[in-house]
Amino acid sequence: MFRFLIDNARWLAAGFLLTFMSGFGQTFFISLFSGEIRGELGLSHGGFGTVYGAATLASAISIIWVGRLADIRNPAIAGVMVSCGLAAAALVMSVAAGPVMLFLAIYGLRLFGQGMMTHTSQTLIGRWFVATRGRALAISGFGFPASEAAFPLIVVALLAIFGWREIWMIVAGVLIIVSAPGLWWLLRENRTPQHTRNAGGARKASEQRQWTRTDVLRDPVFYLLLPAFLAPSFIGTGVFFHQVHLTETKGWELAWFAGFFPVYAASSVVTSLVAGFLVDKWSARHLLPAVLLPQAAGAALLASTLNPWVVPLTMTAFGMTAGMMANVSGALWPEIYGVRHLGAIRAMAISAMVLSTAAAPFVLGVLIDAGIAFDLQLYGMAAYMLAATVLLVAVSRNLLARDLSDA
């Protein structure tokens, strides 16, 4: 493992930096300023939520086309362009004076932060690594929990000195001074996979069919995978977004529930690393049926009891699925569709994922307003994931059979 880290430090660092900088466009970071933004711009909670949701939806649609940027021959150019786009959005946020400018700022933050930083990292790692793709995805993905741990603490410290607009200017400066040149240097040298066949039986890139986006849109397997792949992000976002309602119905303190988010993060990191080694040993196709099971169990467990000690168990289960899904989904697309058009293909999946995270708070909120008990919703989520798991078993067998028939 140490030898792997040393030999591939440049490319793993590039993937890590991309996922780390994606934090500036994630909900956890933007929400740190929600009170100040609403106060200065005169927006209600609903008004801010409407602007945020609309901008997120627009970014999800845009990435279908912008995501092709990850397929250009020189990845250093892609890294710099994404960093500059995110910096521009941060600057717009720093001078936002009304809903229109706020929409443009959030649109850019979500598109280039949550969307393109993540997309570019996983696309490049998926293209650069074959035999060690799983562990490379896991290591580069450590940027997510690192930003989640560091950024809130830094913002709280800076808010004692600067206003929220000045902090967004600092964010833009970090992206221009650190991220853009850092990615230019790290990405200026492309990596050629050192091993062309993994233990799971993946064929050499020269032998593997290189699917286009049009080919994928005609493949039934893509549509069978989406319902399962969107479940963790939709359910996780929905449950965490409505955690206040959840804790009120359970009679728990909100601080008790929120206090176990580090357990979620730790579970996600550990499981992602383990999944990475398993992907390298077998393949992402073999792991598909196991991905949703922990979160299904966690949702059912959370619904079944009022005991507050169920929270760390639920957080552990949700984190396990999040960690596995990040690794398996990152490795699966190049396994089954090749790497030549990987950016364009992954962009469709990323777009659907972002749409699901935008829809989750609204859908669950409508159900709450309609009087549907949250416990009943949780049981429904668990049932959905179990049904999706049955589907994944069939898809996994189909993909393994297709791989053998194409060999």
241: nearest Cα among 66, 386, 365, 372: 365
Structure tokens at 130: 């074959």
378: nearest Cα among 235, 244, 260: 235
* Longest distance between any two alpha carbons in the chain, whole Å: 63
User: SS3 breakdown of the chain: % helix, strand, coil, rounded to 5?
Assistant: 80, 0, 20
> Please, which residues have CB within 8 angstroms of residue 178's CB and are 6 or more apart in sequence?
none
Per-residue confidence (pLDDT) for residue 194, from 0 to 100: 57
Per-residue confidence (pLDDT) for residue 301, from 0 to 100: 96
Q: Are 343 and 67 in contact (CB under 8 A)?
A: yes
* Ramachandran class of 264: left when φ > 0, alpha when ψ lies in -120 to 50, beta otherwise: alpha
Per-residue pLDDT of the chain (407 residues; tens, 9 = 90+): 678 888 888 999 999 999 999 999 987 788 778 878 888 999 886 778 788 888 988 998 998 888 888 887 788 999 999 999 999 999 999 999 999 999 999 999 999 998 899 899 988 988 888 778 888 888 888 888 888 778 888 888 898 899 999 999 999 999 999 999 999 999 988 777 655 544 444 555 556 678 888 898 998 989 999 889 899 988 988 888 788 788 889 999 878 887 888 888 889 889 988 988 898 888 888 888 999 999 999 999 999 999 999 999 999 999 999 889 888 888 888 888 888 888 888 888 888 888 887 788 778 888 888 889 999 999 999 999 999 999 999 888 888 877 655 55
Q: Which residue segments constitute the domains of the chain, with CATH numbers given?
A: 10-187 (1.20.1250.20), 213-406 (1.20.1250.20)
Spatial separation of the C-alpha atoms in residues 39 and 10, rounded to whole Å: 43
Structure tokens at 366: 């409508």
Spatial separation of the C-alpha atoms in residues 238 and 298, rounded to whole Å: 14
pTM: 0.79
Structure tokens at 90: 């941060």
Per-residue confidence (pLDDT) for residue 204, from 0 to 100: 52
358: nearest Cα among 24, 62, 33: 62
Q: Are 168 and 94 in contact (CB under 8 A)?
A: yes
Spatial separation of the C-alpha atoms in residues 330 and 361, rounded to whole Å: 25
Per-residue confidence (pLDDT) for residue 211, from 0 to 100: 84
| Count of CB atoms situated within 10 Å of the CB of 341 | 19
Q: Are 193 and 128 in contact (CB under 8 A)?
A: yes
Task: Give pLDDT tens digits for 186-195.
Answer: 998 877 765 5
Q: Are 229 and 329 in contact (CB under 8 A)?
A: yes
Task: Give pLDDT tens digits for 170-180.
Answer: 999 999 999 99
Per-residue confidence (pLDDT) for residue 405, from 0 to 100: 55
User: Exposed (0-12), middle (13-18) or buried (19+): which is 390, by Cβ within 10 Å?
Assistant: exposed
Per-residue confidence (pLDDT) for residue 197, from 0 to 100: 47
Q: Residue written as tokens 């786009």?
A: 85
User: Exposed (0-12), middle (13-18) or buried (19+): which is 180, by Cβ within 10 Å?
Assistant: buried
Q: Are 200 and 407 in contact (CB under 8 A)?
A: no
